[in-house]
Structure 1
Amino acid sequence: MKSLVASACITAFLLLGCGASPSNTGTPPDDTGTPPTGGDGGTQPVVTKSAKRGIAFDFAAPADLAAVAPGVSWWYNWSTRPHANIPSDYRARYGMDFIPMLWNGNFDAASTESFLKAHPEIQYLLLLNEPNLNDQARMSPQDAAKLWPRYESVAANTGVKLVGPAMNWGTLEGYSDPVVWLDAFYAAYRGANGNRAPRIDYLAFHWYDYGLAGQLDRLKKYGKPFWVTEFANCHSQKDGAQIDSVAKQKAQMADMVAVCESRDDVFRYAWFTGRWTNDPCFASLLGAPGTLTELGAHYLSLPHR
């Protein structure tokens, strides 16, 4: 979804996720989830939190980052840099990592690699945001197969692991089903590369309805662990199951987080989103600057493995 001003994208029964425009960082937290010593000269309280748990949001205020830090280990903003307002020592201050994204093929490999080499703590790179949505990266499987070696070259030259493409149910004609798009992508890549499979270290997925576990099960055929890089329940049909209150979203959040925490094949997950203008899904984790909503406090409090 668009990072701050998302509009609902509905296809059939599903409200689809979208992502922000591209523009070019991060490493996962220590698997203990324990924040390090603060960079401001003090020491943060030792708080055990989920290494998996993240937020899809362009944090533009340190106070917002501080508010979620006790229970969140990472974030991304559909770009390759944190917002300019975020202090450079955010890892030490907040015990959170920023994960960069190459949103489509519009990137300079030399500058990207230079940046990654200057930040060896960065271990992962998110790729290709919702290629089967017309208002997102919008790319045919064949064009994505031609692009992919550029991503692989960045990984080979820097040591990062590749996370993507970030699939959703989409609006690209003939490819609304992520499995149909991925099957065609794999076939096109193999056909152009001597039957070699593309370098994909983790597959990313977005989901905005009931049935997350079943959707992930459909993608197990590719043999990759998952990053669920956008999720919330935005079921809007007036069928009795619509999400029309914070209480209903809290229940769905608990269910979806439990799925992600319990599955060994889910490596990371990120709630959408921090703060959403005219929030149609009661999904915002932040209210006033530096203040958690009821849902935000719930997200931080949910149990983890």
Structure 2
Amino acid sequence: MAVSRFFNLVALSCVALFLCSFGPEPVAALSSPDSLVLPRHMARGHGAIAAKRKRAANKSKRCRTRPTSSDTSSTATSTSTTSSSSSTHSHSSSSSSSSKPKSTPASAPASVSVNTGGGGGKFALAWPNGDSGLQSWKGPSMMYTWTPACPDSAKALGIGCAPMLWGWNQVSQFQSTVKPGYSNIAMAINEPNEPGQSNMSPESGAQLWKQYVEPLRSQGYELVSPVTSSNPNGFTWVQNWLTACDGGCNFDRLALHWYDNTLDKFKDYINKWHTAFPDKKIWITEYACVNFNGGAQPSDAEIAAFHAAAIPYLNSLDYVEYIFPFGAMKQMDGVDPANQLMDPVTGEPNALGWTYLALD
């Protein structure tokens, strides 16, 4: 009897192990480079979209892979085909707590001459912080928040603000907020070619624009184009959007996003769009020096050198009207903190922030 029970137990164990082998497989959270996108603080109204990564000593593991303007291997032409992974990429508290931006000086270097406001220069603010600390950033003449809302203190500080219709999820807020006189320029559609962003087809983008954005022209607004990521499919998305619009979508400014690791690539990307739209002033509404294509990351010194060279170059281009470097925030959410413009503790400009403020 004991022997019989023993063999029964062995048989049941084998069955259990066999059944367990059919359980769900773990999903690699970062398995699809085509679906990886940059962060946008969902709590502040623009979609949070990427788990933060530790800034480890081995910088090649510090950032996520993402196709950019220099990654010619990615040629997908619509957002519906950019992602082949079943995993989702979202901002999670468990992963974000591990990312700690390095501290930087909060006061302006003595060698930097800072205009105290209303300078009208090219430096502008991509600003997710509401009214918190904005008085420390007096100087830029333009800003946006990835939302329809503008900080209450912006006008008193002499900062113009372009409300943004980020995507379909903001239609109600946009309609109730953006009225005649609220501003004189508006933005719409944030990275529609990215699954983790506004994620819409050119046809859907044309519908959104014609229904909610184009009518603002009759209310005295100038309009800033949809802005795609620097994934190569972004250029195609805009072309297909214009086709779908069939003449019903008009914009006065062309918006660009760029993330890559050399100034030469940045120059080539800007020139590509300027050649395609030579009559449009350009707003570069996000950019940073970071490698999302895999391989080694630029060092802190290389990032500093990039910004030092990019500032005079961008200032020399008469068709570039505003530049919005990604970094006026306390948490960089996966973008190398060496691009950060803000002291992560005080919220005041750090050394790089003051360098940009000196433009104004």
The alignment's TM-score, normalised by the length of structure 1, stands at 0.72
Deviations 1:204-238 (A, max 9, x none): 11011232221122112134221110011112668
Answering whether residue 39 of structure 2 is matched by residue 2 of structure 1, we say yes
- Which residues in structure 2 correspond to 1:57-72 (within 5 Å)? 57-62=127-132, 64-70=133-139, 72=140
The answer to whether the 8 Å contact 1:124/1:162 transfers is: yes
Q: What corresponds to 2:255 in structure 1?
A: 204
Q: Give the letter for the 1:270 counterpart.
A: F
Residues 66-98 of structure 1: CA deviation (Å, up to 9, x unaligned) = 22214x22221100113xxx5x34322x22222
Q: Which residue of structure 1 lines up, in the alignment, with residue 205 of structure 2?
A: 144
Amino acid at match of 1:154: P
Matched residue SS, 1:58: coil
Cα distance between partner residues in 2 of 1:113 and 1:78: 16
Matched, 1:251 2:302: no
* 2:233 match: 177
1:95-114 pair list within 5 angstroms: 95-108=158-171, 112=175
* Alignment counterpart, residue 222 of structure 1, candidates 273, 277, 284: 277
1:297 partner letter: W
Match of 1:52 in 2: 122
Q: 2:354 aligns with which of 275, 285, 297?
A: 297
C-alpha distance in 2 between matches for 1:80 and 1:114: 7
Task: Say whether 1:74 aligns with 2:142.
Answer: yes
- Kept in 2, the 8 Å contact 1:203–1:225? The answer is yes
Match for residue 18 of structure 2? none
Does the residue aligned with 2:342 lie in a helix, a strand or coil? coil
- Aligned residue runs from structure 1 range 109-188, under 5 A: 112=175, 115-119=178-182, 122-170=183-231, 176-188=232-244
Distance in structure 2 (CA, Å) of the matches to 1:179 and 1:138: 15
Structure 2 SS opposite 1:232: strand
Displacement after TM superposition at 1:14 (Å): 6.3
Deviation string 1:125-180 (CA, Å, 9 cap, x unpaired) is 0110001011001111122222221244432342111101112234xxxxx42221
Displacement of 1:57 in angstroms is 2.1
3-state SS in 1 of match to 2:289: coil
Which runs of no fewer than 5 residues in structure 2 stay unpaired? 1-37, 42-47, 51-62, 72-89, 92-114
Distance in 2, Cα, partners of 1:150 & 1:54: 28
Aligned mates of 1:248, 1:292 — CA distance in 2? 20
| 1:74 counterpart letter in structure 2 | M
- Counterparts in 2 of 1:219 and 1:197: CA distance versus 1, 3 Å: farther
Matching of residue 273 in structure 1 with residue 330 in structure 2: no
Q: Deviations over 1:171-190 (max 9, x none)?
A: xxxxx422211222222222
Q: Tell me, yes or no, if the aligned pair for 2:282 and 2:320 is still in contact at 8 Å.
A: yes
Q: Structure 1: any 5+ residue segments left out of the alignment? A: 22-44, 171-175, 191-195
Q: By percentage of residues, which structure has more strand?
A: 1
Q: What TM-score does the superposition give when structure 2 sets the normalisation length?
A: 0.62
Equivalent residues of 2:167, 2:189 under 8 A apart: yes
3-state DSSP class of the match of 1:203?
A: strand
- Asked whether 1:213 is paired with 2:282, we answer no
Which whole-Å CA distance do the structure 1 matches of 2:173 and 2:295 have between them?
51
CA distance, structure 2, for counterparts of residue 142 and residue 237 of structure 1: 29
Percent identity over paired residues:
22
CA displacement at 1:113 relative to structure 2: 6.8
Aligned equivalents of 2:295 and 2:267: distance in 1?
A: 21
CA distance in 2 between counterparts of 1:110 and 1:293 reads 33
Name the CA distance, whole Å, in 2 between partners of 1:110 and 1:184: 27
SS at match of 1:248: helix
Q: What is the letter of the counterpart of residue 225 of structure 2?
A: G
